[in-house]
Structure 1
Amino acid sequence: METGQRRERARIGNRRPRMSEAQTREAALRTTVAEIRENGLPLGLEHLSMEDVIREAEISRTAFYRLWPQKDQFIGDLIVELAKEALPTQNTQGAEATSQLKESLLPRIGELRDADARWQLIISLVVSATTPDFEHTAALAGQWRTYFALTSLTMSLPDSDVKEIAQQEIGNAEKRYRERLVANYALLMNMFGIRLRGQLDMTLDDVADLLIALIRGLVLRNRADSPSRSSSLASRGAAAIVAYCFENDPTVLWDDSRIDSIRATLNGTADLF
Structure 2
Amino acid sequence: MTEALDGAPRAAEPDPQRPRSRIPAAEVRRRVLDVAMERVEGIGLTIGFEHIVMDDLIREAGVPRSSTYRLWDSKEAFVTELLIEIARETSNKLTDDETLELSERILLDHVDRLADARERQQVLYEVIRVALEHNYRAVIDSVAWQSYVGLSATLLSHLDWPARVEIERALLSGSAEFVERMAEFHRQFSAVLGYRLRPEWDGDYRPYATVISAVVEGLGLRHLGNPAIVDARYRGPATITSDDAEWALPAIALLAVFERFLEPDPDYDAAAVIASLKQRAGQEPEA
Distance 1:47 1:119 in 2: 49
1:238 aligned to 2:243?
Answer: no
Distance 1:47 1:128 in 2: 37
**Match in the other structure for 1:28:** 32
Aligned with 2:46: secondary structure? Answer: coil
**Match in the other structure for 2:192:** 191
**Match in the other structure for 2:180:** 179
1:147 aligned to 2:148?
Answer: yes
- Offset of 1:200 from its aligned partner? 8.1
Q: 1:188 to 1:27 in 2, by over 3 A?
A: closer
Q: 1:17 to 1:229 in 2, by over 3 A?
A: farther
- Letter of the 2:220 partner, please give it: V
**Match in the other structure for 1:103:** 109
Select 1:266's aligned residue among 269, 274, 277. Answer: 277
- Letter of the 1:143 partner, please give it: A
- Letter of the 1:261 partner, please give it: A
**Match in the other structure for 2:80:** 76
Distance 1:118 1:45 in 2: 49
- Offset of 1:30 from its aligned partner? 1.6
- Offset of 1:266 from its aligned partner? 0.8
Task: Please tell me whether the aligned partners of residues 84 and 170 of structure 1 are also in contact (alpha carbons under 8 angstroms).
Answer: yes
Distance 1:110 1:191 in 2: 11
- Letter of the 1:147 partner, please give it: Y
Task: Please tell me whether the aligned partners of residues 25 and 71 of structure 2 are also in contact (alpha carbons under 8 angstroms).
Answer: yes
1:90 aligned to 2:101?
Answer: no
**Match in the other structure for 2:242:** none
Q: 1:263 to 1:189 in 2, by over 3 A?
A: same
1:123-174 CA distance string (max 9 Å, x none): 333223323323332431x3312211112324535364x4333222221221
- Letter of the 2:263 partner, please give it: E
**Match in the other structure for 1:37:** 41
Q: 1:63 to 1:245 in 2, by over 3 A?
A: same
How many corresponding residue pairs?
Answer: 249
Equivalence map 1:243-262=2 (5 Å): 243-249=259-265, 252-253=266-267, 258-262=269-273
Task: Please tell me whether the aligned partners of residues 99 and 270 of structure 1 are also in contact (alpha carbons under 8 angstroms).
Answer: no
Aligned with 2:248: secondary structure? Answer: helix
**Match in the other structure for 1:4:** none
Task: Please tell me whether the aligned partners of residues 123 and 243 of structure 1 are also in contact (alpha carbons under 8 angstroms).
Answer: no
Task: Please tell me whether the aligned partners of residues 98 and 270 of structure 1 are also in contact (alpha carbons under 8 angstroms).
Answer: no
Distance 2:103 2:77 in 1: 44
Structure having greater relative contact order (Cα 8 Å, sep ≥ 6): 1
1:60 aligned to 2:64?
Answer: yes
1:37-83 CA distance string (max 9 Å, x none): 32232223488543333334333222222222233322222222222
Aligned with 2:95: secondary structure? Answer: coil
CA RMSD of aligned residues (A): 3.5
Distance 2:126 2:138 in 1: 20
Q: 1:253 to 1:30 in 2, by over 3 A?
A: closer
Q: 1:265 to 1:70 in 2, by over 3 A?
A: same
Distance 1:157 1:169 in 2: 16
- Offset of 1:215 from its aligned partner? 1.6
Aligned with 1:247: secondary structure? Answer: strand
- Letter of the 1:196 partner, please give it: L
Q: Percent identity?
A: 22
Select 2:135's aligned residue among 130, 133, 136. Answer: 133
Which segment is superposed worse, 65-74 or 194-203?
194-203
- Offset of 1:117 from its aligned partner? 5.0
Distance 1:117 1:40 in 2: 43
**Match in the other structure for 1:215:** 216
Aligned with 2:278: secondary structure? Answer: helix
